[in-house]
């Protein structure tokens, strides 16, 4: 079953000879890398929205080294337990989590606003439908999705409600209170714990919280790995340059990543 929706007229898209087309003849070609761009110009607020190429490449290198594998494995187990047929990964980035999640479902759509990230993701796994698109208009049909996932990504609540089937699920992964605390202490004068529970409060009118877990991962980073981790986070531009430079001079750095996983069910 096709899941994609035309972002212009909101009709179903069908794929013929590497072109997605709707009944109103709006058409979108599959790029040679294997993704389709459904982020139409009238919905764009900048020329190159989303993460920079530097950030995407830093994240690809850091994640491929396995430091966040405990989160990836925990998410896979949650999906396996839900026994679903399809999922939409919102903010799929370069595809590290999406690629693994696809193994557990019959159909998987990965969407991200950053074209340079989706271009990298599309090389990973041809079984995923990779899409450049925006959370403001998720490019999938109404009431078509068993599970939406958002890992460190925005949660477009109304759009998620639109695309999820009745009683379907939303999986959210976000920093737990102590996530990367030592690194944040080195980068900022004042450090406050993350507040993942804000998502429970944000979603409570439309979703019931049915499962929650905290997953920790401890590791020692060398200088290159540390630089990649900083570059892939918002800390890269939020921290004072002199503090970032000082931290990046460390030969080794001990860290704990701490992830909060929530599973919500649509009311």
Binding-site residue positions for Zn(2+): 6, 9, 22, 26
Alpha-carbon distance 41 to 233, whole Å? 27
Binding residues for S-adenosyl-L-methionine: 68, 94-95, 179
Contact 88, 148 (CB under 8 A): yes
- Can you list the positions of beta strands (E) in 105-179? 107-112, 129-132, 145-151, 164-175
Paired tokens of 102: 């696809």
Q: Tokens 């409570």 belong to which residue?
A: 204
Q: Which of 228, 230, 229, 220 has its CA nearest to residue 251?
A: 220
Binding residues: 6, 9, 22, 26, 68, 94-95, 179
In terms of DSSP H, where are the helices of 204-240?
223-231, 235-238
- Radius of gyration (C-alpha) of the chain in whole angstroms: 19
Contact 254, 182 (CB under 8 A): yes
């Amino acid at each position: 079953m096709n899941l994609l929706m035309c972002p212009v007229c909101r009709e179903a898209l069908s794929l013929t000879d590497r072109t997605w087309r709707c009944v109103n003849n709006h058409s979108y070609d599959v790029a040679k890398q294997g993704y389709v761009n459904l982020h139409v110009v009238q919905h764009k607020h900048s020329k190159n929205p989303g993460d920079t190429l530097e950030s995407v490449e830093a994240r690809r290198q850091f994640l491929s080294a396995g430091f966040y594998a405990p989160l990836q494995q925990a998410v896979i187990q949650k999906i396996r337990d839900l026994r679903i047929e399809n999922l939409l990964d919102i903010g799929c980035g370069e595809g590290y989590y999406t690629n693994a999640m696809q193994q557990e479902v019959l159909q998987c759509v990965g969407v991200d606003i950053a074209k340079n990230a989706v271009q990298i993701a599309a090389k990973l796994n041809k079984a995923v439908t990779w899409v450049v698109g925006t959370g403001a208009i998720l490019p999938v049909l109404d009431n078509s999705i068993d599970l939406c996932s958002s890992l460190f990504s925005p949660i477009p609540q109304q759009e998620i409600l639109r695309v999820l089937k009745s009683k379907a699920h939303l999986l959210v992964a976000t920093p737990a209170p102590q996530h990367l605390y030592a690194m944040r202490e080195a980068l900022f004068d004042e450090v406050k714990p993350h507040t993942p529970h804000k998502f429970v409060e944000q979603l409570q009118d439309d979703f019931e919280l049915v499962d929650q877990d905290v997953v920790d991962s401890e590791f020692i980073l060398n200088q290159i790995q540390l630089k990649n981790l900083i570059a892939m986070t918002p800390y890269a531009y939020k921290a004072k340059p002199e503090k970032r430079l000082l931290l990046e001079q460390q030969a080794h750095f001990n860290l704990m990543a701490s992830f909060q996983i929530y599973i919500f069910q649509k009311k």
